Every structure is written in C-alpha cells, then in structure tokens.
Amino acid sequence: MKILFAGGGTGGHLFPIIAIIRELKKNPALENKKIKIYFVGPDGKVSRELLKKEEVEMKTILAGKMRRSLTPKTIFQNIIDLIIKIPVGFIQSLIYVQIISPDIIFSKGGYGALPVNIAAKILKIPLFLHESDIVPGKTTKLSAKTATAIFTSFPETKIANVIPSKVLWVGNPIRSELLSGSEQEGQEGKKLFNLSGNKPVIFIWGGSQGAKEMNELVLTALPDLLKNFEIIHQCGLKNYEEAKVMADIIIKEPPLAKGYHLFDFLTENEMKQAYKSAHLIISRAGSGAIFEIAAAGKPSIMIPLPESSQDHQAKNANAYASTGAAVVMEPKNPTPALLFSKIMLIFSQPEKMQEMGRAALRFAKPNAAKDIAAELISYLIK
C-alpha cells in the first residue's frame, strides 16, 4: 500500500502533512498492513530533515509560481519559472508518480503540489485535496473537478463546479503532539525559555518562514512591551541576524533585555512550550497558525500578510475573529503604538481574555488530522 503526499513550499503545507502521516501510522486499521509513504515537492533543508524523521521518502522537484507584484526582479523570476521550473517540475512529477505508482495521492496545495495533481489526473490516480484557506487557492481550483474528495479548513469555503458531497469540512490538520501534556507541565517552558515568571508572556510567531514586516513592527514596540511583558519571538531563519541586531540597538536597558527571547526557528517541543507559556499570541493569519492557536486555547492578535494571494490571510483572520477568539490588526500601515494599545486593552480585560480562550477552543478542530487519515484509510481498504 503506497500513499504519496504533495505540497509546498512552506511549513503551512508541510506540518499538516506530517500530522496526517502520524495519524495514519497510529490507526489500528493499518496495523498489519505494509504501508510506504512518499512526498513529492520542492526541496528545502527543513522539509528534508522533518520528513526524514517521519521515515518518509522524499522526491524533490523544481517548482515555479507566477508572482502578482510586478517589478523587474519578479518579472525575471516569472519568466524563469514559466520556461524552466514549471515544465521541468511537471515532467519530474509525472516520472516520479509513474514510478512510485501510489494507491492514492494527498495534496496539501501550494505551488509545489500542482504538477503532482496534474500527474495524478493523467495517470488516473485517486486525488484527495486539502484547502487551507477560506478562499480556494489556484491549485485547488485547477484540481478540484477531478479530485476524489476535497477537505476544507473553514466551513465557509466554497469550491466551484464541484459536487457538494465531495467537500468535507474537517479543519486544518495539526500535530497532536503540540497539545499533549497538562498546563502544569507548561512549567517546562519557563526553564526552556528562561522566563522570569514575573510578567505575562506574549508569544510572537511569524510562521515557519518568519515575517519581516511583522518583526520590524514588534521590534520597534519592544521598549514599551518589555516594561510590561516577557516576549518569546520566533522571527524566521532568514530574518534572525537582522532582528538580533535591531533588538540589540532598540533595547537600551539590560534588565529589559532579559525579558526578550529571540529564536530563528522553534522545534516541535519548543512550539508546544511556547503555546503553553503564552498568555497572548501575536501571529500572521495563515490557516495553520490559526488552527494551532485555537487548539491551544489562547487569545490572539492576528496581523494578516497584506500581500497574501487573494487577500486570504485577512479573510481567514476576520472569520476567526468573528468567533470572539482573536482581534485583527489591519495590515495596512500598522504602527507600534497601535499594536501596543491593542495589547494593553486586551490585558486590561481579564474576563474577556478568558472568553477569547474559550472561543478559540470552540472553534478548534484538533482531530482534523485523525479525521483525514480515517477517510484516506476508508478509501484504501474499502
């Protein structure tokens, strides 16, 4: 029995795949069955390391995309992607899918998944899709008609020209390991991040790749924030050095510097402890972030990525905020003063903070990965 996963190219695509793979391996229906799992998608150091730990065989392809914002640089990148990366990636995908000959393909979307989806159609292999965002992305739109089933994160998501019975609302898959353990065990986070325990903790999360503009916004607000809070800040691998230099310049008082904990990337256990330690989370509004924060039951401030495709992050954030679980900070011209005032307002209302946490848990779909795994297994063994 062979299952091929496709997606790319960010952690927002990869981590849900890992969550589903783990649930497949735990499912008793596959206990005595030999199962081989593959991943086909864009190359990346983090992806290779994470998939290797899950014992997944990775096949890398070139993957291209068309950028909407047009500058001399992006126009050149689009041309290269159009004439080289996209056609080569499709040929690679077709060859890999034909050689592997999987029983089913699960596609998490993203530009790295489209060539695999097309290969699935040509080779007549059952294709299962997952759409993360409220507004379906290009890959989902182009692949939906021939898909066996389409899973969605949000109930509001509408897939055009598809039989409604093919669309299943399950939520966004998250790793159950992020939620394991009790709040008391969250004391591990105090040691892990060297937290003083004297101030409330804010966890600032820029996603797997970081968020440069959000980092700058937060860093500029640090002098005010650190007088009132301790900060765990995951800024992204490529932004770490710049963020560190900026923080060293901005934080003038050594005692305040002790309350700022900067990281380029957080391991799974570090993420778990950051969620447990935080009283408030500030994050971009990718679907993966929203559903992890919701499952952690924490109040949050969402700062959508302004240039996200189809403005999907703002739409995700507003849908989540409508439940009462979060506050949205509009991405156009946010200021450090505005961010600080929103944070102080939330902390000035402890009862509202508790209700935000409860609303987050009501929205959460912690069993999404398990539900998807069960659907895939049901199809495989029917």
**Residue whose tokens read 């739409």:** 315
Alpha-carbon distance 16 to 292, whole Å?
10
Average pLDDT on 232-250 reads: 92
Q: What phi and psi, each to the nearest 5 degrees, are found at residue 325? A: -85, -15
pTM of the model: 0.92
- pLDDT value, residue 79: 85
pLDDT digits (tens, 9 = 90+) for 326-340: 999 986 778 999 999
Alpha-carbon distance 307 to 112, whole Å?
19
Q: Is the pLDDT of residue 210 over 70?
A: no
Q: What domains appear along the chain, each with residue ranges and CATH number?
A: 2-174+367-381 (3.40.50.2000), 177-363 (3.40.50.2000)
Percent with pLDDT over 70 in the chain: 96
Q: In the numeric block, which tokens belong to residue 218?
A: 């937060």
Alpha-carbon 351 to chain mean position: 29
70 compared with 265, residue with greater pLDDT: 265
- pLDDT value, residue 64: 75
**Residue whose tokens read 């447990």:** 276
Alpha-carbon distance 308 to 68, whole Å?
10
Q: Is the pLDDT of residue 59 over 80?
A: yes
- pLDDT value, residue 218: 93
- pLDDT value, residue 212: 83
- pLDDT value, residue 81: 80
Radius of gyration of the CA atoms of the chain, in A: 21
Alpha-carbon distance 25 to 103, whole Å?
16
Alpha-carbon distance 333 to 165, whole Å?
42
Contacts 24+ apart (CB under 8 A), 10-13: 10/110, 10/207, 10/208, 10/209, 11/46, 11/207, 11/208, 11/209, 11/288, 12/110, 12/132, 12/207, 12/208, 12/286, 12/287, 12/288, 12/289, 13/41, 13/108, 13/109, 13/110, 13/112, 13/113, 13/132
- pLDDT value, residue 342: 96
Q: Is the pLDDT of residue 15 over 90?
A: yes
